[in-house]
Amino acid sequence: MATKKHSKLKTFVESHFTEFAQQDSERLKALYSDFSKLWLLNKYAYDTNISYWRRVILDCSQQGYLETPDYSFVIDKDTLAEKFQRPIIGKPLSFDCVLETMEKQEELIPLEAFNKKFAPPSTWLGWIVDTVVKNTWQWRWRALPDSLTHPATQYVVLPTVKALAKAIMAQHYHNPADTHIMTLAQFRSAYAHHFVNEIDLTESDMSLLLRYLHSQHGVALADNVKGYGTSYMVIKFPQREDQIATITQHDEALISIRTTCYALSVQVDELQKKSEELGRQALDEKKRGHTAKALYCMKRKKSLQEILEKRLKSMETMDTVLMKIESSQDDLQVVQAFNMGADALRGLLGQDGLSIESVDDVMQKIQDTFEDQKEIEDALRMGNEDIAGIDDDEIENELSQLVQEEHIYDKTPSTVPPNIVARKKRAFIPYAAANQREDWREF
């Protein structure tokens, strides 16, 4: 698995960062060199290298390629450089500077500091101790007897945690039909495997992620909620993003009913399979001539059928109860929305200036204003007519007379004598033709 992850990491950085695609580039050698002294000699180059490695680490973490044995979004300071080891140039030599800068920017948080900053509710400390702390520290204690005396080297990549939490909340609110409350097993089934890129969440990851969701997104958590045959870890999302969820007795009862329905469904499936298998065995035994065995199989099948019918009736009853509870929840939300709307409308109607009397007064003022405007317009129109004092019919008659006179003038023949026209035409004889006429006269 580690070799496969390392291969995916190598492919990812070479496809997303051009410097890694060029094995012998001077830029890649500079990034892998010890550039810690550039902080004094060339601050710009130092900041550029830090920024580059910061982007590489964050992107690779969000792809799930920098995992540790217990976590998918926690990096180990001692082994991080080995993940980026390359032929010839070796490992990056300045990761200490990069991680220190990222820690100052709160992009990396030591694991112990994260657990203190995002403290879980007291209702699920037992689950953390039983499923996370014991398993993790038992493994570490066997591998590293003196690990508790060493400084912390594991850092939570906070941008990756934020990205996971944001994606989970967005997915939950994107499907309004989904229930707001679920068990840890349902949460794990929905979000643990490749929900974001190729991140596989471990039990330790679930603990850190649920801490963050509880602290920053108002997700409620409770342990030891009694269900069918056992206790469950329960997770409840707020109904809206600006709310904080709380787990009530009603929610615990709902979990009990749902787990019972699920258990009955599993039992029904198993009983159905066994009944069908016994029917096939009875036929096989009958074909072989083993009548007694065939009858025995049929008796067992009949007993299972009776149990199956009882389980089906119980499951039908539980499903009906669950459906009515969920329907009542929806009805309650509708009624609450109605109440909020009624209160808002009542508040608007109770404000100053919004009453039946005030509305009547305003409408009467508008009507009076329209009537005043109409009187003003009529007065202006009558005044303009009096000032002009011109008869429109008389003006139209004069215009028609002018048009007729113009038409008569166009049809009158010209009074210019014809000889004057001929004289005008001869006056435009070309110069060359006149010279020829004078030459002929001399000849």
Least confident of 89-93, 114-118, 131-135: 131-135
Q: What is the pLDDT of residue 144?
A: 32
pTM over 0.85: no
CB-based contact 301:355 (threshold 8 Å): no
Band of residue 175 on the pLDDT scale cut at 50, 70, 90? confident
CB-based contact 228:263 (threshold 8 Å): yes
Q: What is the pLDDT of residue 422?
A: 44
Domains observed in the chain: 1-110 (no CATH), 151-247 (1.10.10.10), 251-372 (no CATH)
Higher pLDDT, 379 or 434: 379
Q: What is the pLDDT of residues 304-336, one digit of tens each?
A: 999 999 989 988 888 888 788 777 767 777 887
Q: What is the pLDDT of residue 104?
A: 94
Q: Is the pLDDT of residue 195 over 70?
A: yes
Which residue, among 284, 283, 166, 150, has the nearest Cα to 217 in the 3D structure?
166
Tell me the average pLDDT of the chain.
80
Q: Is 279 exposed, middle or buried (0-12, 13-18, 19+ CB in 10 A)?
A: middle
CB-based contact 83:66 (threshold 8 Å): yes
Strands (E), 301-424: none
Q: How far apart are CA 103 and CA 124, in angstroms?
A: 29
Q: What is the pLDDT of residue 309?
A: 92
Band of residue 168 on the pLDDT scale cut at 50, 70, 90? very high
CB-based contact 261:183 (threshold 8 Å): no
Which residue, among 85, 91, 60, has the nearest Cα to 75 in the 3D structure?
60
Q: What is the pLDDT of residue 360?
A: 81
In three-state form (DSSP H/G/I as H, E/B as E, the rest C), the secondary structure along 395-411 is: HHHHHHHHHHHHHHHHH
The torsion angles phi and psi of 241, rounded to 5 degrees, stand at -65, -25
What percent of the chain clears pLDDT 70, i.e. is strictly above it?
79
Q: How far apart are CA 96 and CA 106, in angstroms?
A: 15
Q: What is the pLDDT of residue 140?
A: 37
Q: What is the pLDDT of residue 113?
A: 92
Q: What is the pLDDT of residue 239?
A: 83
Q: What is the pLDDT of residue 415?
A: 52
Q: What is the pLDDT of residue 224?
A: 79
Q: Is 224 in a helix, a strand, or coil?
A: strand
Cβ within 8 Å of residue 30, ≥6 positions away? 49
33, two tokens: 């060199």
Least confident of 28-37, 101-110, 203-212, 239-248: 239-248
Q: Is the pLDDT of residue 2 over 80?
A: no
Taking the CB of residue 130, how many other CB atoms lie within 10 A of it? 11
Q: What is the pLDDT of residue 427?
A: 43
Q: What is the pLDDT of residue 256?
A: 85
Half-sphere exposure at residue 170, Cβ-oriented, CA atoms within 13 angstroms = 8
Q: Is the pLDDT of residue 127 over 70?
A: no
Q: Is the pLDDT of residue 430 over 50?
A: no
Q: What is the pLDDT of residue 135?
A: 44
The torsion angles phi and psi of 350, rounded to 5 degrees, stand at -85, -5
Q: What is the pLDDT of residue 362?
A: 84
Higher pLDDT, 60 or 1: 60
What percent of the chain clears pLDDT 90, i.e. is strictly above it?
34
Q: How far apart are CA 227 and CA 263, in angstroms?
A: 10
Taking the CB of residue 78, how many other CB atoms lie within 10 A of it? 10
Q: What is the pLDDT of residues 390-425, one digit of tens each?
A: 666 777 777 788 878 777 766 555 554 555 444 444
Q: Is the pLDDT of residue 156 over 90?
A: yes
Taking residues 187-195, what's their average pLDDT? 87
Q: What is the pLDDT of residue 61?
A: 94
Band of residue 194 on the pLDDT scale cut at 50, 70, 90? confident
Q: Is 426 in a helix, a strand, or coil?
A: helix
Taking residues 91-116, what's their average pLDDT? 93
Q: What is the pLDDT of residues 208-260, one digit of tens each?
A: 999 999 999 999 998 878 877 788 888 999 988 888 888 888 888 888 888 88
Tally DSSP H helices, then E strands, for the chain: 19, 6
Position 303, amino acid: S
Q: What is the pLDDT of residue 411?
A: 59
Q: What is the pLDDT of residue 428?
A: 42
Residues, the chain: 443
Q: How far apart are CA 48 and CA 163, in angstroms?
A: 25
Cβ within 8 Å of residue 201, ≥6 positions away? 72, 164, 188, 191, 192, 193, 195, 209
Q: How far apart are CA 67 and CA 74, in angstroms?
A: 6
Taking residues 261-290, what's their average pLDDT? 90
- Identity of the highest mean pLDDT range in 55-59, 186-190, 415-419, 434-438: 55-59
Q: Is the pLDDT of residue 137 over 50?
A: no
Q: What is the pLDDT of residues 331-369, one digit of tens each?
A: 777 887 788 888 887 777 766 666 777 778 888 889 989
Q: What is the pLDDT of residue 395?
A: 73
CB-based contact 275:308 (threshold 8 Å): yes
First CA to last CA across the chain, in angstroms?
A: 127
Q: Is 150 exposed, middle or buried (0-12, 13-18, 19+ CB in 10 A)?
A: exposed
